[in-house]
Amino acid sequence: MSPGHIHVPTDCRTVTEILSRVGDKWSVQVVVQLGSGPKRFNELRRIVSGISQRMLTLTLRGLERDGLVTRTVYPTIPPRVEYQLTGLGCSLLKTVRALGAWAIENRDEILAARRRFDAAEDEGRAPERKRQDAA
């Protein structure tokens, strides 16, 4: 944050609300799977490991409501429904992929930090923490 940045509470609420949607476990997985093209509901259910039918329905509705996914119903018998990313959803996919690449790139460093932290906790001493003085 730059020194000239003005904190606006409504911006924080908006960001928190949007990140809650796009950052939850299931939304990220659905967005990633739709990144390879349109999918039908049952196809998504098979490839998104561990998701229930109800949770997939809620996740898709939320993503559709936020303009990240479109739902197309084809007039066949029985009706065929496909979900796909919108342009906004594709832009989110780029960010999700970048975050995933960052996680992979920094995995070893993060795991090492966790081991150091856990070892210090096991020894009954808090890990060293840098003190940040308020200016």
Does 4 fall in a domain? no
Instruction: Indicate which CATH number applies to the domain containing 80.
Output: 1.10.10.10
Residue 59, token pair as written in the block? 């996740």
Q: Is residue 96 part of a domain?
A: yes
pTM score: 0.76
Taking only the tens of pLDDT, the chain with its 135 residues reads 555 566 666 778 888 888 888 888 899 999 999 999 999 999 999 999 999 999 999 999 999 999 999 999 999 998 899 999 999 999 999 999 999 999 999 999 999 999 999 998 887 765 555 555 444
Q: CB of 26 within 8 A of CB of 51?
A: yes
Q: Which residue has the tokens 């990313």?
A: 85
Count up the domains in the chain and report the number.
1
Helix, strand, coil tally for the chain in percent (to 5): 60, 10, 30
Under DSSP, the state recorded for 6 is: P
Whose structure tokens read 């796009």? 22
Q: Does residue 50 fall inside a structural domain?
A: yes
Does the residue 131 lie in any domain?
Answer: no
- Residue 60 has phi, psi (to 5 degrees) of -65, -40
Q: Identify the domain containing residue 56 by its residue range.
A: 9-122
